[in-house]
Structure 1
Amino acid sequence: MDNMIYYFSLSILFLLVGARNDGAFTISSYWNEVFPRTPMPHAIRALLPSFSMMPRYGGTPCRCAWGGRWGVLGHNHDQSKRNWSPNLAPLYFLRDDLHPGSKMNVTIMISPTMVDGSKGGISIEPTFLPRQQAQAIPFSTSNLTTILKTFSIQPHSEYASFTRQTLQDCEGPALKGEVKYCATSLESMIDFVVAELGSREIHAVVTSVVNKEEKVKARTYRVGDGGGKVMSSKVVTCHDVTFPYAVFYCHNFQGTRPYMVPLIADDGSRVNAIALCHFDTSNWNPGHASFRLLGVKPGTVPICHFILKDLAWVPN
């Protein structure tokens, strides 16, 4: 059995190494085919594979930013999920807080190179695999042992636990009113969002830093002139989850609307933040942190939260 896993892992390794040279071109070509008039956002381009950014294999553990991600903001609205971080709790707020001048009870720490993929930044985050290479690795808990061996992850390590949890989250049932999909490649993510939104006339938006020359700081913000503005009545959100290569938990939730929110700090720093407002929370876990923080009950008022590194796909 071990020999079979070894040879299977080795064949995957050869595919992955071969993907280093032409992976970015293959993925970009598919983007241009589907979205010929839409430039690829920096946040997505930063996750394209290259020789220096591909995960490392063999005797060297994967240089993955396991602890540096924002997580999923409780994508299943169940705080028992391991990918949910209590440090993100202040990101929740009420829709009434989106008017100009509103003091947001939120401190956001953003690195321009992490959010924008700006040139000059060094990323050690997992990158996308081309669809063909991603499909060569069965994405399932039953294949966990092979995945760990392929990426040189110790089976009893924290990395292995995160990998297992992501697989379990992706295999779990969708909530009522939710259509979910774990995209193991950018191509599969594109196919899902196009099918869900029913059009190719769409684009991805992400929270972005206006003051790009600023170093990473933690600040408290207020809503700028014009307040938060709804971008569309439809949205598909794709959350960056923890895995040896880039995987996104994408879902389409009924009654969710995306907002663009200008945020301004006292020192003049600005962030164009993406917020999602959920108008139907009746099926959420009553123990979810947002209800305790905001003093409301499930199904009573819309609950909003910012997404920092995640992608919101909206119609043009």
Structure 2
Amino acid sequence: MELHLLPILTCLSLVVVVSNASLPSEVYWKLALSYTPMPKAVRDLLQLNSMEGGSSINVSKVVLNAIPADVFIKYQNPLAVDTPTEDQPQDTSRKGYFLEKDLHSTTKMKMHFRKTTNEATFLPRQVADSIPFSSDKFPEILNRFSLKQDSEEAEIMKETIQDCEQPALEGDSRFCATSLESLIDFSISKLGKNIKLISNGVEMGSQEYELGVGVKVVADKSVVCHKQKYPYAVFYCHAIHKTRVYTLPFVGTEDGTKAEVVASCHIDTSAWNPKHAAFQVLKVKPGTVPVCHFLPRDDLIWVPK
């Protein structure tokens, strides 16, 4: 009997893998994260969008309208350069950068929150896995979405794929998730199953908000996933252990409305490009002090419970 156990167990493992690959996303979440409720920020990404029988996505509407709220910085690879222009003043209120010490002082931090317009939702895993996602297969991708190579949509999609193919910083693991299941798998591989997801999913008005009392450190390691401009939901996820994640209580200056915002402080910036916008805005040098920034409303942040 013992001689037959290994083949039997192998077959059972294959059945489990195949079954999980075809599970609805909600069921996959419950199996993988049985003690973690699915937050609204994720449920909103699971609208029916199968692409079966042809494309059911209005690519122009989704890609061209995917503009992040201007109060939050768009995620940028720290290896890249971002030089502020005349219409983007070098101040923290517009770029979203600040120093960690500002969270523990009497410094007043004011922000003006607006909603984002990135409406892309997740495809089922089997469908997402069937669509190429690489620069060398880009003509095939354009054909799949009936797009011309010189179109504005194609240029945006190409940039997203190239961003996903950029090398990670030393000590930083990165991965572009094209389905909720792959996003879950990556996060678990870096933090384990005892995790929870937080986001800036609260609805906030157009008034200014001022930092209130009750700043909290949520975690000293995390997996942060940044939503990209693409026809369906794609998240650029990276696991950075030399960070501190904060929740910041903001209060509306007009009517006292309260809102909790998530921010990340990078403890070690020594490998960042010296011309990165954060250093220009904060007037500091790489590797000298922790650099913090608010996380966009579309971001998903995984932290240990």
Q: What TM-score do you get using the length of structure 2 for normalisation?
A: 0.80
After TM superposition, give the deviation of residue 280 of structure 1 in Å: 0.4
Q: Is 2:48 aligned against 1:50?
A: yes
After TM superposition, give the deviation of residue 89 of structure 1 in Å: 5.0
Q: Is 2:251 aligned against 1:264?
A: yes
* Separation of aligned partners in 1, 2:186 and 2:232: 19
Identity of aligned residues (%): 41
- What secondary structure, in the 3-state scheme, does the structure 2 residue paired with 1:297 have? coil
Q: What TM-score do you get using the length of structure 1 for normalisation?
A: 0.78
Q: Is 2:272 aligned against 1:279?
A: no
Aligned to 1:10: none
Matches within 5 A, 1:124-143: 125-143=119-137
- What secondary structure, in the 3-state scheme, does the structure 2 residue paired with 1:274 have? strand
Aligned to 1:96: 101
Does the Cα contact within 8 Å between 1:231 and 1:258 map onto a contact in 2? yes
Q: Is 2:198 aligned against 1:205?
A: yes
Matches within 5 A, 1:34-113: 34-50=32-48, 57=55, 61-70=59-68, 72-79=74-81, 89-99=94-104, 102-110=107-115
Q: Which of these residues, 293, 296, 301, is aligned with residue 312 of structure 1?
A: 301
- Residue type of the alignment partner of 2:169: L
* Separation of aligned partners in 2, 1:59 and 1:53: 7
**Number of residues paired by the alignment?**
272
- Residue type of the alignment partner of 2:36: T
Residue deviations 1:119-159, cap 9 Å, x none? xxxxx712111111111112111111111121222321121
Residue deviations 1:235-262, cap 9 Å, x none? 0100001111110000012311111111
- What secondary structure, in the 3-state scheme, does the structure 1 residue paired with 2:146 have? coil
Aligned to 1:20: none
* Separation of aligned partners in 2, 1:292 and 1:165: 24
- What secondary structure, in the 3-state scheme, does the structure 2 residue paired with 1:231 have? strand
CA pair 304-195 structure 1, distance change in 2 beyond 3 A: same
Q: Which of these residues, 280, 289, 305, is aligned with residue 292 of structure 1?
A: 280
After TM superposition, give the deviation of residue 51 of structure 1 in Å: 5.3
After TM superposition, give the deviation of residue 37 of structure 1 in Å: 2.2
Aligned to 2:242: 255
- Residue type of the alignment partner of 1:151: F
- What secondary structure, in the 3-state scheme, does the structure 2 residue paired with 1:203 have? strand
* Separation of aligned partners in 1, 2:151 and 2:22: 30
* Separation of aligned partners in 2, 1:47 and 1:249: 15
Does the Cα contact within 8 Å between 2:50 and 2:127 map onto a contact in 1? no
Q: Which of these residues, 151, 166, 176, is aligned with residue 157 of structure 1?
A: 151
Q: Bigger radius of gyration, 1 or 2? A: 2
- Residue type of the alignment partner of 2:166: G
- What secondary structure, in the 3-state scheme, does the structure 1 residue paired with 2:170 have? coil
Q: Which runs of 5+ in 2 are unaligned?
A: 1-20
- Residue type of the alignment partner of 1:162: I
Aligned to 2:183: 189
Residue deviations 1:193-251, cap 9 Å, x none? 00101x21111100133xx4x6x41x43222112x211112101000011111100000
Aligned to 2:216: 229
- What secondary structure, in the 3-state scheme, does the structure 2 residue paired with 1:49 have? coil
- Residue type of the alignment partner of 1:271: A
CA pair 60-289 structure 1, distance change in 2 beyond 3 A: closer
Matches within 5 A, 1:210-221: 212=203, 216-217=205-206, 219-221=207-209
Does the Cα contact within 8 Å between 2:63 and 2:153 map onto a contact in 1? no
- Residue type of the alignment partner of 2:101: D
Q: Is 2:239 aligned against 1:246?
A: no
- What secondary structure, in the 3-state scheme, does the structure 2 residue paired with 1:169 have? helix
Does the Cα contact within 8 Å between 2:249 and 2:260 map onto a contact in 1? yes
CA pair 173-77 structure 1, distance change in 2 beyond 3 A: closer
- Residue type of the alignment partner of 2:230: F
* Separation of aligned partners in 2, 1:66 and 1:31: 30
Dislocated runs of 4+, deviation >4 Å = 51-54, 58-62, 85-89
